[in-house]
Amino acid sequence: MAFDPKQLMFYEEAVVTRDAATGLLSKLTTHSGEVLIDFSQFAAAAFAATTNTTAPVISPATATTGTVMASTTGVWTNSSQSYTYAWYKGASPIGGATSSTYTILVGDLSSAITCQVAATNRAGTASAVASNAVTPSA
């Protein structure tokens, strides 16, 4: 049976049920238990976790001291709303390097530089995904 929103005006004392985990509206029922609207099917689609489908890419492909590297976000599913960046020299995070760009320093020469990007949407933050590596030279 399709629900007609106009029917709500006849239910002055409808019962609102919220999801215990998210606090989001899950059902609207009458006091006798008749379900007027079940929102759970919509919540599953609207709040699905984001996942990476294409890794981020850093550029340019060659670098030396002073080169400003830039990272893309990559491609993520389910409406990612924000991104975090963490630049790495080999397997070690570079302190303070948390924006989409990073300037190569003398100490970075001959080390693989990557950027890990994580995406966040209403369902939470996905695991970070590493970019390609660029090894700066003198």
Backbone angles phi, psi at 44, to 5 degrees: -60, -40
Q: Three-class SS of residue 86? A: strand
- Residue owning tokens 């019962």: 15
pLDDT band at 78 (very low <50, low <70, confident <90, very high): confident
Q: Is the pLDDT of residue 104 over 60?
A: yes
pTM, two decimal places? 0.69
Q: Which residues of 24-33 are buried (b: 16+ CB within 10 A; e: fewer)?
A: eebbbbeeee
What is the reported pLDDT for 43?
55
Q: Is the pLDDT of residue 40 over 70?
A: no
Q: Among residues of the chain, what percentage have pLDDT more than 90?
A: 57
Q: Is the pLDDT of residue 8 over 60?
A: no
Per-residue pLDDT tens over the stretch 108-122: 999 999 999 999 988
- Rounded to whole angstroms, the Cα distance separating 4 from 57 reads 48
Q: Go through the domains of the chain in sequence order and give each one's CATH number.
A: 5-46 (no CATH), 52-130 (2.60.40)
Q: What is the mean pLDDT of residues 34-47?
A: 64
Q: Three-class SS of residue 2? A: coil
pLDDT band at 80 (very low <50, low <70, confident <90, very high): confident
Backbone angles phi, psi at 7, to 5 degrees: -65, -25
